[in-house]
Amino acid sequence: MIRIKLPTHKHSLYPSPWVNRCDGCRRVGGYFKDGYRCYECYLFFHKECAETTLETIHHPSHREHPLSLVLDWPRIKNCKLCGECLFYMFYSCYICDFDVDTACAKNPPPNVIEYPKAHEHSLVLAKDISYFKCGFCGEGSEYVYRYRCSLCRLEFEIRCSMLALEIDYPYHTKHPLKFLTKEEHHFSDGKCRICGKELRLKFYHCSICKFSVDVDCVRDPPPLVILFPKAHEHQLSLTPRKISFDCDACGLGGHRSPYSCQQCDFMIDQSCIDLPEIINVNRHEHRLSRRLHLSPGSWVCGICHKKVDWSYGAYSCLICPNYAIHTKCAIRDDVWDKLELKGIPEEPQEIEPFKEA
């Protein structure tokens, strides 16, 4: 796996097929295709945010002075275009105290939306950070700007302002999906078909197929296919269905929307796509490597001391041939130090096991 050192972060970053949030521009929810993660800080970045190289930009929203890239800031500030809190990475004018996040630096929200899809009147950007409930998704928000209808006095999150009440969804092509509330319709199991999270107050639904998907997964759906050698050598395709399966990476049962390889009959849970390859844990003196499967035999996990099914993925020691641990046991917070060691030369002396503080 490629380790990348970028000027936007102090630690090495690792590519990921998607991220569900960005700690650079503070966007959250859904799937943002291609990104980076820092195992040490548990931070995630959009690809374009992490690879930001322009230390100074000229922005149409602030023509008076150039804006400079800021990394790390001792106090919370707010983006002057969308109101989002700025913690880590943003552009700033030190003269005017004008700040914008990296997302608005690239695509600033318009001041007026003449023809929104979810409302019959035009919407105007209101630079108000008081608490409000979005008139579309029903979620409460504060400290962010919103779009407001001056006729109806309804307010909408910026990211909901262009969603429609009925959509064609690429992962459910049989029928269109309609926007519903939980009170309007009986739905299957109360969880999003794509990400598995509990459905919130409002969501999209196909009553014929009992297919439900949350707003986040409509705004930013997962990639239909990925080619990510760290997870598997062949292309993987999303199966957007409720389906019981055993994840080949960890051996645990899954219940919906895995990625699978048609060539190998390989299936992997979404949470296992981005597992580290070489790690150091606090229960063993040597590095452990991720294996697609162990050699046939009777294996016992060095962490939980329960049986390890050799036919599924696990972590094992190259020096101690009988030592292995479950995939999920290996990445526990109290076991792993969050360092990916792939590409880092091993010192000649013994590596001290990670000690939990």
When mean pLDDT is compared over 26-35, 79-88, 298-307, 344-353, the highest value belongs to 298-307
SS (H, E, C) 213-281: ECHHHHHCCCCCEECCCCCCCCCEEECCCEEEEECCCCCCEEEECCEEECCCCEEECHHHCCCCCEECE
3-state SS string for the chain? CCCECCCCCCCCEEEEEEEEECCCCCCEEEEEEEEEEECCCCEEEEHHHHCCCCCEEEECCEEEEEEEEEECCCCCEECCCCCCEECCEEEEECCCCEEEEHHHHHCCCCCEECCCCCCCCCEEEECCCCCEECCCCCCEECCCCEEECCCCCCEEEHHHCCCCCEEEECCEEEEEEEEEECCCCCCCCCECCCCCCECCCEEEEECCCCEEECHHHHHCCCCCEECCCCCCCCCEEECCCEEEEECCCCCCEEEECCEEECCCCEEECHHHCCCCCEECECCCCCCEEEECCCCCCCEEECCCCCEECCCCCEEECCCCCCCEEEHHHHCCCCCECCCCCCCCCCCCCCCCCCCCC
- φ, ψ of residue 297 to 5 degrees: the values are 155, -175
Considering only 3-12, 113-122, 179-188, 296-305, which range has the smallest mean pLDDT? 179-188
- Token pair belonging to 290: 């991720």
Look over the chain and give the mean of its residue pLDDT values, rounded to a whole number.
Answer: 88
Instruction: Examine the pLDDT at 352 and tell me if it is beyond 80.
Output: no
pLDDT grade for 181, boundaries at 50, 70 and 90: confident
Q: What is the pLDDT of residues 67-122, one digit of tens each?
A: 998 887 767 788 889 888 887 788 999 899 899 988 888 888 999 999 988 789 99
The three-point CA angle 19-39-319 to 5° equals 125
Q: Which letter, b or e, does each residue of 141-160 get, where b requires 16 or more Cβ atoms within 10 Å of its Cβ? A: beebbbbbbeeeebbbbbbb
163 band by pLDDT with thresholds 50, 70 and 90: confident
Cα angle 103, 106, 112; round to 5? 85
The residue that leads in pLDDT, 275 or 53, is 275
Residue with the larger pLDDT of the pair 10 and 151:
151
User: pTM value?
Assistant: 0.80
34 pLDDT band (50/70/90 cuts)? confident
Region of poorest pLDDT, from 38-42, 48-52, 73-77, 130-134? 73-77
pLDDT at residue number 320: 94
Q: What is the pLDDT of residues 268-290, one digit of tens each?
A: 999 999 999 999 999 899 999 99
Phi, psi (rounded to 5 degrees) for 102: -65, -30
Mean pLDDT of 37-61: 85
pLDDT value at 346 more than 90 = no
Q: What confidence score (pLDDT) does residue 350 get?
A: 52
> What pLDDT is attached to residue 61?
87
CA atoms within 13 A on the CB side of 145: 20
Would the pLDDT of 185 be above 60? no
